[in-house]
Amino acid sequence: MEADYVIIGSGSAGSVIAARLSEDGKHRVLVLEYGGTDAGPFIQMPAALSYPMNMKRYDWGFMSEPEPGLGGRRLVTPRGKVVGGSSSINGMVYVRGHARDYDHWEEQGATGWAYADVLPYFKRAENWHDGGHGGDASWRGTDGPLHVTRGPRANPLFQAFVDAGAQAGFETTDDYNGEKQEGFGPMEQTVWKGRRWSAANAYLKPALKRENLEMVRCFARRVVIEDGRATGVEIERGGTIEVVRARREVIIAASSINSPKLLMLSGIGPAAHLHEHGIEVVADRAGVGQNLQDHLELYIQQASTQPITLYKHWNLWGKALSGAQWMLTKTGLGASNQFESAGFIRSKAGVDYPDIQFHFLPIAVRYDGKAAAEGHGFQAHVGPMRSASRGEVTLKSSDPREAPRIFFNYMSEQSDWEDFRHCIRVTREIFGQQAFDPFRGKEISPGADKQTDEELDAHIREHAESAYHPCGTARMGRADDPWAVVDPECRVIGVDGLRLADSSIFPRITNGNLNGPSILVGEKASDHILGRAPLPRENAEPWINPRWQVSDR
C-alpha cells in the first residue's frame, strides 16, 4: 500500500484533511482508522449523545491517573474510536472560541494563527443557519461542508436562562460565534436535518466517493522514519504487521491523547523518557506529551416546580416515542442535543474576555445518562475556561497496544479553586433571578447547605467532571522553541515529511468546546500541506466589554 499522503485518524481534523487533500484529484490519499462504522441511531441521533461516549465499541476507553486535586478520583477520558473520531461521540456543541484565543496563539509563536488569519478558515468550513433567530451573518460562512444550526428553544427554560443572565447584569449576545462572544444567548450545534453532523458526515463520506481517497481499517503502531524523514506508517491488521508507504507526507491526526503517543513510539519526544522504554531517539522534543489541558465543569442543578423539563420523557416509553419519531421523521426531541442556551462571562474585573462558559440543559442529569432522582429539574454546566493547571501524556511501555498514561493534574493551582467557587456562586446568582421565579424549586446540587469555601471545595473535589476537551500535548510554536513540537505550518520539528494537525497543537485551550477549533486546524493545515498561499486575513475586531477593567459585567 502506497499513497502520496497517509493520514492517521479520521476524526475532526483528519476527515477535513482527507477531504481537502483529495479535492483536486492530483494526489492519492489514504486515511488509516482503527474504529468501526458510525452508522446507527446511537451516534446519528443527537439526543442520544450520552450513549456513544460510554460504549466500548465507539470509545478508546482511556482513564486518567488518580487525580490528587480531585481526591484521587480517576476520570474517564473518552476519545472516539470510530469513523469521525470524537466528532462522532461528542456533544455536538459548536464554539469557535474567542478571537483573543487565537491572538494569544500567535503571541506564543504560532505565527499566522491570529484571529485575522483563522477567521477565513472558520468561514470556509461553515454552512451556517441562524434559523431566523438573528446572528452575525458577516462573521459567518454559508457554503462550507459543516452545517451549524440552532435548536428550536421551545422549552421556556431556555429563554429564562438568557433573561436571568441579563437580569443579573450580564450581557446578552445573538451570536457568540460572531463579533460578540460575551453574554447569554442561543447555543449552536453541528446538527443537520435532525442528524449529528460529524466531520465524517460533513467531509469524509462525500470525499470517499473520489477514486483517489481510500480509508483503511487498521491499527497504526508507529511512524516509519528513515534518515530523518517520515516514509510511512507501520500498521497492524488481521494479525499481520505491514508498512503503508507515504510518497510525500505522513499526517498524524489521532487526538491529543494518541498523537503524542504515536510520536513517542516513533522516537520523537523527551529523550530520557524514550530511553526509559528502550525507544531509539529520532528527535529529542521535550514538549511531546506535555502541556496537557482540559476544561473541568460542575453541574449546578435546581429542581423545577413545573413539570415542563425533559424529565417527563426520561423513561422507557418517553425515550421510545422520541426515538421512533426521530427514526421516522428526524424531528422532535431526538433531533437536538438539548444544549440550546449558552453563556460566556468574565470572572472578575481586569479579565478582558470571557473565561467562564455555561451550557444550559432543561433536565437534571449526568453525562453518563444517569438521571437525578429528584424528578423535574434543570441545570447549568459551568466551569473556568483557562485553568493554569497543566498535565501530561506519557508512555507506560513501548507496546503500541498499551494505553498511554494520562495525568491531567487538575486543580493543582490555587487560582483553579477560586475560579470554581466563583462559578458556583455566580450560577446560583443567575438561577436566583426573577426569570426563574415561576420554575425554581430547591437547589439539588451542590445543595443550599453548602456555602463556605471549604464546603464548596469539598463538593468540587468530589463532583467536578471533565468536559472532555483535552488538548495541547504537541504544541505549535517557533521552530527554535525547545518546547514546541510543530512549527506554524504543522510540521513536526526535527523530522521531514511529517505533520501533526489536531487539538494536540493548540498552544492554549480555546474558549469553549473544541470540535470547531479542531476542524479549523484541519482546514488551515490542508493549505499548508498543499503549499497553498493562506486565505487573505480578515481584520474583524471582536467586541470587548468597555467595562472590563472595572467590572465582571
32 is in an annotated binding site: yes
Cα–Cα distances in Å, from 104 out to 114, 213, 511, 520? 7, 36, 12, 16
21 is in an annotated binding site: yes
82 is in an annotated binding site: yes
Q: Which residues of 189-222 are buried (b: 16+ CB within 10 A; e: fewer)?
A: bbbbebbbbbbbbbbbbebbeeebbebbbbebbb
55 is in an annotated binding site: no
Contact status, residue 201 vs residue 195, Cβ threshold 8 Å:
yes
Cα–Cα distances in Å, from 212 out to 7, 22, 28, 443? 13, 6, 5, 57
Q: What angle separates helix 12-21 from helix 515-529, to the nearest 10 degrees? A: 30
In the numeric block, the cell 506519557 is attached to 394
282 is in an annotated binding site: no
151 is in an annotated binding site: no
24 is in an annotated binding site: yes
First to last CA, the chain: 58
28 is in an annotated binding site: yes
Contact status, residue 214 vs residue 359, Cβ threshold 8 Å:
no
Helices (H), 249-380: 255-265, 271-276, 316-329
Q: Give the closest residue to 198 by CA, choosing from 148, 152, 252, 143.
A: 148
23 is in an annotated binding site: yes
- 146-150 and 229-237 strand pairing: unpaired
CA distance 61 to 47: 22
12 is in an annotated binding site: yes
Helices (H), 79-201: 99-107, 115-125, 156-167, 199
29 is in an annotated binding site: yes
30 is in an annotated binding site: yes
11 is in an annotated binding site: yes
Contact status, residue 334 vs residue 88, Cβ threshold 8 Å:
no
Cα–Cα distances in Å, from 536 out to 124, 138, 145, 266? 12, 16, 20, 36
Can you say whether residue 83 is alpha, beta or left, with left for phi > 0 and alpha for psi between -120 and 50 degrees? beta
- Evaluate the omega torsion of the peptide bond into residue 404 and state whether it is cis, within 30 degrees of 0: no
300 is in an annotated binding site: no
Contact status, residue 65 vs residue 407, Cβ threshold 8 Å:
yes
- State yes or no: is 469 an active-site residue: yes
CA atoms within 13 A on the CB side of 92: 34
Contact status, residue 510 vs residue 344, Cβ threshold 8 Å:
no
112 is in an annotated binding site: no
16 is in an annotated binding site: yes
Q: E strands along 67-143, which residues?
A: 76-77, 126-128
Exactly one of 147, 295, 459, 469 is catalytic; name it.
469
10 is in an annotated binding site: yes
Task: Let me know if 239 is exposed, middle or buried by CB neighbors in 10 A (0-12, 13-18, 19+).
Answer: exposed
Structural Rg of the chain based on CA atoms: 23
33 is in an annotated binding site: yes
Cell numbers representing residue 115 in the block: 484571529
20 is in an annotated binding site: yes
Helix (H) / strand (E) containing 177: none
Task: Let me know if 271 is exposed, middle or buried by CB neighbors in 10 A (0-12, 13-18, 19+).
Answer: middle
Residues annotated in the binding site, as ranges? 4-33, 82, 90-93
Which sequence positions are flagged as catalytic? 469
Annotated binding site for FAD: 4-33, 82, 90-93
